[in-house]
Amino acid sequence: MLARVYTVAFQGVEAREVDVQCTLSSGLPAFTLVGLPDKAVAESRERVRAALTAIGLALPPKRITVNLAPADLPKEGAHFDLPIAMALMAAMEVLPAERTQALTAMGELSLDGRLTAVAGALPAALAAAEAERGFVCPEACGPEAALVGAAEVLAPADLIALINHFSGRALLAAPRPAEVADDPAIADLADVRGQARARRALEVAAAGGHNMLMIGPPGAGKSMLASRLPGILPPLEPREALEVSMVHSVAGLLAQGRVSRARPFRSPHHSASMAAMVGGGRRAAPGEVSLAHHGVLFLDELPEFARPVLESLRQPLESGETMVARANAHVRYPSRVQLIAAMNPCRCGHLADPAMACSRAPNCGLDYQGRLSGPLLDRIDIQIETPAVPPGDLSRAPAGEASAAVAARVAAARAIQRDRYAGLGVATNAEADGETLAHVAAPDGPGRELLDRAADKLRLTARGYHRALRLARTIADLDGAKGVGRAHVAEAVSYRRAPLAR
């Protein structure tokens, strides 16, 4: 008799269907697991054996063969425990085989038969719903799986509860979908005193989803400004929230299956490796740039990051996705992020202050800023100086505009962009390209003349030229203007820095 149940193998956020087949045949007693399992999957035999023994089920004295099909797809992770156990119990006629073959299951087994939470329940439940099958997962993953709305979601605490459900002795209640998590507390932009130009640039960046670099001495407020950006960004759309939750689910970071409408804010340390930044490792896990999908990736002390790590960000910033290439797999993760970076002008940080600058100035600034490649800087739309604010001015300066007021203007500009790009697969001006950009961001005559002169003076590349157009379009949206005028172009090009010259 052939018994089967379905599960999934993850390739990025994609859940590939795996057919778990089990047969009992005559011969010397053995438990064989085939289908390209990794070490964790191969160890499922011992966990399944111990768990069945703990609930009073002894393995039959037969040859047990479990096949994970397709055989050429690598199988990784402990979530194969539950489907293997269910297929085996169906072959032993403990579970009804006609029911198990209509289910997708995932979960890790403890030696006493309890089910332990695993990562990836959300994309796995979505795959089950698309295949019109029920879904079985550990109790802790139930709220996460119920978000998808599959036909049937079972979330038992242990194998005994699962057996009792199929026998009709104690039916499992359907898990309740996870609640939307409370938004994290975000400091108000009103706390920032001075830095009017940087505050304006931050508003423009939020309105159009533009990348931004702040250059200034220590204590100028760069990190303070960046930490307040989430407070002026609009909440995630339902589709965006699902995409973000799927990435976090695969990474095992979806706390109690609770979905958040707040945009992710990731701030990795400058010692982060390439695998930590763009993804990789043995299981090709998502990196920081993917965990910040539809949110903010903040890189403080930008030149202190390793050069290869920074260069690895060029593809995600341009295409909105990350490809993690390995010998046996190519894994794709979504990575549509807004990069916010901060740096000192030189190693000591006081390049512009002759009284505090080191003896190597200005060469130390050229060397320090030279750690950033031109192609990377070309992908950053806004590059501004943030000078130090004297303590005396801080005490006399009035409180800045509150985040709520700025967020209202940002939301209005985003609404204009949403209507403009409806049906085009584009959400913000920062994503517009090609004919779409030429149609919506074409400046008037004086504006085009100014942009052409600025492009020559600042030596803008074609990419930099188009990014200046996107910025001008966002500034016009904040003003509520239908077209892009000279004033909008002037502000846009003021956010571009000329290349460093030795």
Give the integer Cα–Cα distance in Å for 37 and 204: 50
Give the integer Cα–Cα distance in Å for 132 and 152: 9
Q: What pTM did the predictor assign? A: 0.88
Question: pLDDT class for 399, splitting at 50, 70, 90?
Answer: confident
DSSP 8-class letter at 175 = P
| Concatenated DSSP letters of 83-129 | HHHHHHHHHTTSS-HHHHTTEEE--EEPTTSBEE--S-HHHHHHHHH
Rounded to the nearest angstrom, the gap between the alpha carbon of residue 18 and the centroid of all alpha carbons in its chain is 25
Specify burial of residue 1 (Cβ count, 10 A radius: 0-12, 13-18, 19+): exposed
Per-residue pLDDT reduced to its tens digit, 44-102: 999 999 999 999 999 999 999 999 999 988 898 899 999 999 999 999 999 999 999 99
444 touches 427 (CB < 8 A): no
Give the integer Cα–Cα distance in Å for 18 and 68: 6
452 HSE (CA, 13 A, CB side): 8
Triad 416, 418, 226: Cα angle to 5°: 85
70 cis-preceded (ω within 30 degrees of 0): yes
Average pLDDT over residues 113-134: 93
Give the H/E segment covering residue 390: none
Give the integer Cα–Cα distance in Å for 192 and 161: 55
Which residues does residue 18 pair with via DSSP β-bridges, in sequence order?
7
Domains contained in the chain, CATH given: 2-167 (3.30.230.10), 189-426 (3.40.50.300), 432-502 (1.10.8)
The residue whose two tokens read 């990014």 is 467
Per-residue pLDDT reduced to its tens digit, 308-324: 999 999 999 999 999 88
58 touches 45 (CB < 8 A): no
| The pair of three-digit structure tokens given for residue 203, joined into one six-digit string | 């508003």
* Strand 2-11, strand 134-136: pairing: unpaired
Which residues have CB under 8 Å from 183's CB, separation 6+? 235, 260, 261, 262
Number of H helices, E strands in the chain: 22, 16
Per-residue pLDDT reduced to its tens digit, 146-205: 888 767 899 999 999 999 999 999 999 989 887 766 667 788 898 888 888 999 999 999
Per-residue pLDDT reduced to its tens digit, 444-477: 999 999 999 999 988 888 998 999 999 999 999 9
* Strand 329-334, strand 321-326: pairing: antiparallel
Q: Which residue has the higher pLDDT, 316 or 500?
A: 316
Has residue 358 got a pLDDT over 80?
Answer: no
Average pLDDT over residues 259-273: 91
Residue 227 neighbours by CB distance under 10 Å: 19
Model pLDDT, residue 256: 64
Give the integer Cα–Cα distance in Å for 379 and 381: 6
